[in-house]
Structures are given as C-alpha cells and as structure tokens.
Structure 1
Amino acid sequence: MQLREVAARTELSLRTIRQYEDMGLVVPSAASPGGFPLYTDSDVSRLMVIRRMQPLGFTLDETRELLTAVDLLSADRPGTETELTPEDRAALVDRVRRYEQAAAERVDELRTQLARAEEFATSLRTRLTPA
C-alpha cells in the first residue's frame, strides 16, 4: 500500500512516518515502479507498535530496542543463520518481558491519572449544577 493509505490506517502523519523511516524504525518493504515506497501489513503493524509506545512515554531508543528484539525473535529459525543460542533467545525474551511489564505499569499510572481527571471534571460539574 502507498504512504497515504498507511498514514490513514495508522493515524500517523506522512511526516511522522517519513521521520520513522529516516530513523530506521520502519523500512518500506518494496517500491513502486516509479520509486515510491510501498508498505505491507507487517510494516503497518510495526508502525502501530511505535504509535502505541508513544503515549506510554517510551523513547525512540527504547522503541528501537524493543523492535530489534522482536525482529530477532521472529527471525529465529532452527537450522538457519538466524538461529539464536538458547542464552541469546532467553535474553531477548527477558528484554521483551521487561517492556511488557513497563507498559503494564505505565498503563496503571495512566488509569490513575485518568481517574483523578474524571473526579476533577465531576467536581466541576457538581459545582455548576444548581442546587
């Protein structure tokens, strides 16, 4: 799919997607005969991971680290060049697990903040409602 369709599906701006390309976070899987980048569903999924990490406060370096770990685990195939040693695989799984735990903690923090914001909004509505 073309860049505009990817932007619509991911709700990311064209500029943001190009920035991620420049940073090496996502690489279009193909190019059109005219040289325009083309993206696959896998590329869109990768962009969605990046987009979902942002509101949780993960840095771009942390995003890159997680994507690299996931890429290496996905490429791990017995009997191929990409086969990981058991130690390397365990280290990558541990790294991804730490990100999952950090994400869960950040989600809990956001839920607490949202609850406080909702309480505040409710208190304002209560003050504005005639007795």
Structure 2
Amino acid sequence: MTEERPMQIGELAERTGLSIRTLRHYDEIGLLRPSARSEGGFRLYTLDDESRLLLIRRMKPLGYSLEQMGELLAVVDGLEADPRDETLRARLADIRTEARERREELRRKAAAADEFVAQLEAR
C-alpha cells in the first residue's frame, strides 16, 4: 500500500475544477478545512478532502446554499461518527428526497432549454 501524498491547494483546485479562491473561501467559512498545513503554512489536502470537495461541487448545480451544504456535511460527519443516530439518518433521508426533487426540477429546466434551442435552430 502506498502512502497518500498531501496535495497543496493548487493541485486540489486543478483536480476538482474549482478555483483556489473558492477553496480558500470554503476554508474561511468552515465548509472544507485542509487536513493539515505545511511548515510554511500552506494548506495540505488529502484524498478524503478531495472527496468531500467533490460532494460540495455536486451540490452546486442543484442550487444548495453554502449553509445548506454545511448542514449536509454535518449530517454526513455525524453519521460517520455514529452510523446508528436515527435523527441524523432521518435528516439524511429528507436531504435525499429534496435532492431528488431538485434534480427533477433541473431536468425540467434543461428540457425547456433544449426546446428553446431547437426552436432557435429551426429558424
């Protein structure tokens, strides 16, 4: 097994398609804190941090606010600490239902946009 090499912020930004500015903002508001810092004070991220960031990125197109993203991450973190917490499990189920509804609304909007583009192309 190979030891995981921590990533600096630029590498994480490149791997996830998000800007360094966004990553710094997420750190400032507590949405995604780096796992460590180098001796020089540089943010260092792990693959787990990258996975968390990708979860955040996937919430963006569904219109979740930063506050809502933080709530979901708190639920996920809580369930990692105690997978049997029924309150958190119920909240996750609610979030799942809401995500499905948001996805369906996004699908409807995309279909309307496709119709619009088709009308423009027909002219």
Q: TM-score, normalised by structure 1?
A: 0.84
Query: How do 1:39-54 residues align onto structure 2 when only pairs under 5 Å count?
Result: 39-54=45-60
User: SS of the residue aligned with 1:43?
Assistant: helix
1:96 equivalent in structure 2: 92
For the pair shown, which has the larger CA radius of gyration, 1 or 2? 1
Structure 1: runs of 5 or more not aligned: 78-85
2:121 equivalent in structure 1: 125
- Tell me, yes or no, if structure 1 residue 114 matches structure 2 residue 110: yes
2:43 equivalent in structure 1: 37
Quote how far apart the aligned CAs of 1:76 are.
Answer: 2.1
Count of aligned positions: 117
User: SS of the residue aligned with 1:12?
Assistant: coil
Query: Separation in 1 of the partners of 2:28 and 2:112?
Result: 39
User: SS of the residue aligned with 1:28?
Assistant: coil
Query: Separation in 1 of the partners of 2:71 and 2:77?
Result: 10
2:29 equivalent in structure 1: 23
The CA deviation string for residues 7-63 of structure 1, in whole angstroms up to 9 with x for no partner, is 011111101100000001111111222221110011111111111111111111111
Structure 2: runs of 5 or more not aligned: 1-6
Q: Which amino acid aligns with 1:97?
A: A
2:3 equivalent in structure 1: none
Structure 1 vs Structure 2 CA RMSD: 1.3
Q: TM-score, normalised by structure 2?
A: 0.89
